[in-house]
Amino acid sequence: MFGMSFTEILMVVVVAVLFLGPDKLPNAMVQFAKMLKVLKKSINDAKSSIEQEIKIEEIKKEAEEYKKSFEKTKEEFSKKLSLDDFGETANKPKKVDKKADKKEDLKEEKPKDKVKVAKKSKKSEEE
Biggest alpha carbon distance in the chain?
147
The phi, psi pair for 37, rounded to 5°, reads -65, -45
Average pLDDT over residues 81-87: 67
3-state secondary structure of 66: helix
Cα separations (Å) of 44 from 40, 49, 83? 6, 9, 58
Predicted TM-score of the model (pTM): 0.41
3-state secondary structure of 127: coil
If one compares 52 and 96, the residue with the highest pLDDT of the two is 52
Cβ pair 22, 14 in contact under 8 A: no
Mean pLDDT computed over every residue of the chain:
77
Which pLDDT score is estimated for 127? 54
